[in-house]
């Protein structure tokens, strides 16, 4: 199985990760290599994996590997640039 990169929009922030598993019974999605952009706190967290309930997902978009890397790099440059 080839994981799909996804951008999820939630109340907690923007989440980018590789979709590993979709559990219809539990109504959840498991992502690997996850980056969460919490814009309210200007914070980016990284997790090895994350399971998120579908009811918490406001929106989503499939991304190419390059697009997901570029998006994470933009987040990091917005928060971690020095003068």
* Dist. CA 64–CA 16, nearest whole Å: 11
Contact call for residues 71 and 63 (beta carbons, < 8 A): yes
- Reply yes or no on whether the pLDDT at 1 is more than 50: no
Cβ 26 vs Cβ 33: under 8 Å:
no
Q: Please state the pTM of the whole predicted model.
A: 0.85
Select the more confidently predicted residue: 56 or 79: 56
Please give the distance of CA 74 from its chain centroid, rounded to a whole number: 14
Position 40 scores a pLDDT of 85
Domain ranges of the chain: 4-80
What pLDDT score was predicted for residue 24? 85
Instruction: Tell me the Ramachandran region of residue 65: left when phi exceeds 0, alpha when psi lies from -120 to 50, beta otherwise.
Output: alpha
Instruction: Report the C-alpha gap between 78 and 56 in whole angstroms.
Output: 26
Q: What is the CATH number of domain 4-80?
A: 2.30.30.100
**Confidence (pLDDT) at 50:** 96
- The pLDDT value given to residue 82: 56
What pLDDT, in 10s, does the model give residues 43-74? 899 999 999 999 999 999 999 999 999 999 99
pLDDT tens readout for residues 26-39: 899 999 999 999 88
């Amino acid at each position: 199985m080839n994981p799909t990169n996804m951008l999820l929009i939630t109340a907690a922030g923007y989440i980018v990760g590789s979709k590993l598993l979709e559990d219809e019974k539990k109504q959840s999605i498991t992502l690997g290599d996850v980056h969460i952009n919490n814009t309210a706190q200007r914070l980016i967290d990284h997790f090895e994996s994350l399971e998120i309930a579908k009811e918490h997902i406001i929106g989503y978009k499939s991304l190419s590997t390059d697009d997901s890397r570029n998006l994470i790099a933009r987040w990091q440059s917005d928060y971690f640039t020095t003068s």
